[in-house]
Amino acid sequence: MGIINGGPMLVSLKAGIAYLAMPKTGSTAIEAALAPDSDILMSGHPNLKHMRLRRFERYVRPLLPASDVETVAVIREPIEWLSSWYRYRSRPQLDGRPNSTAQISFNEFVEAWLQDDPPAYARVGKPAEFLAPPQDGPEISHLFRYDAFDMFVEFLSDRFDRSLAVPHMNVSPAIDVDLSPALRAQLCENLSADYELYEDALCR
């Protein structure tokens, strides 16, 4: 499952962090706030700007002059994360395209996402896949919850030694995203690893 759209992967040696931009977690706004103070900014091809933890540790960390750079990311409540994708892909700009969700319900989107080979409109991956560490490699150093975004901004302000203002950008349209109870139960089971990361983010 591919993950696309959103802000960049960036590294600041002064702040000692590498921000890995999981889509649908405010990454575009983070780019606007941190880009001026970043040493590395990857915001072009999706494989670069949405570089997963495993790829970062394998390809980028060996190039860094400092060994104490810590990784940081934001995770969203998993079902809310999926609903954000669904709403984002319902926008008029995608009408008629294979990845548009304008003509389907959220239940249909989730049923498609649960397939082994989902159609284009439901091919968005999982947060746990994005944050999976390399074999015998380090886990994400700092993981913040999207619904406690102010704590993340406070962390960044401390690391960058300045007060940061993070604008609210790329807001998805408001749409009814209710799920049937049976489908919600199936989805929660499928997202168990993602919920474990989400709950653990409180303790990092």
State mean pLDDT over 87-116. Answer: 94
Question: Rounded to an integer, what distance in angstroms lies between the CA atom of residue 181 and that of residue 9?
Answer: 37
Please report the pLDDT score of residue 174 as a whole number: 60
Q: Which of 5-14, 44-53, 115-124 has the lowest mean pLDDT?
A: 44-53
Distance separating alpha carbons of residues 115 and 186, to the nearest angstrom:
12
pLDDT 10s digits, 31-55: 888 989 999 888 765 555 568 999 9
Residue 130: pLDDT band with limits 50, 70, 90: very high
- Tokens, residue 86: 């669904």
Question: Is pTM, for the whole model, over 0.85?
Answer: yes
Residue 188 confidence (pLDDT) above 90: yes
What are the Cα distances from residue 160, in Å, to 11, 20, 36, 41, 85? Answer: 12, 16, 11, 16, 30
Phi/psi for 176 (5° steps) reads: -65, 125
- Written as one letter, the residue type at 53 is L
User: What confidence score (pLDDT) does residue 75 get?
Assistant: 96
In this predicted structure, which of 129-133, 167-171, 192-196 has the lowest mean pLDDT? 167-171
Domains of the chain (ranges; CATH) run: 9-203 (3.40.50)
Kindly report the backbone phi and psi dihedral angles of residue 96, in degrees, each rounded to the nearest multiple of 5, phi listed first: 85, -5
Q: Average pLDDT of 66-72? A: 87
With 70 as the cut, is the pLDDT of residue 159 above it? yes
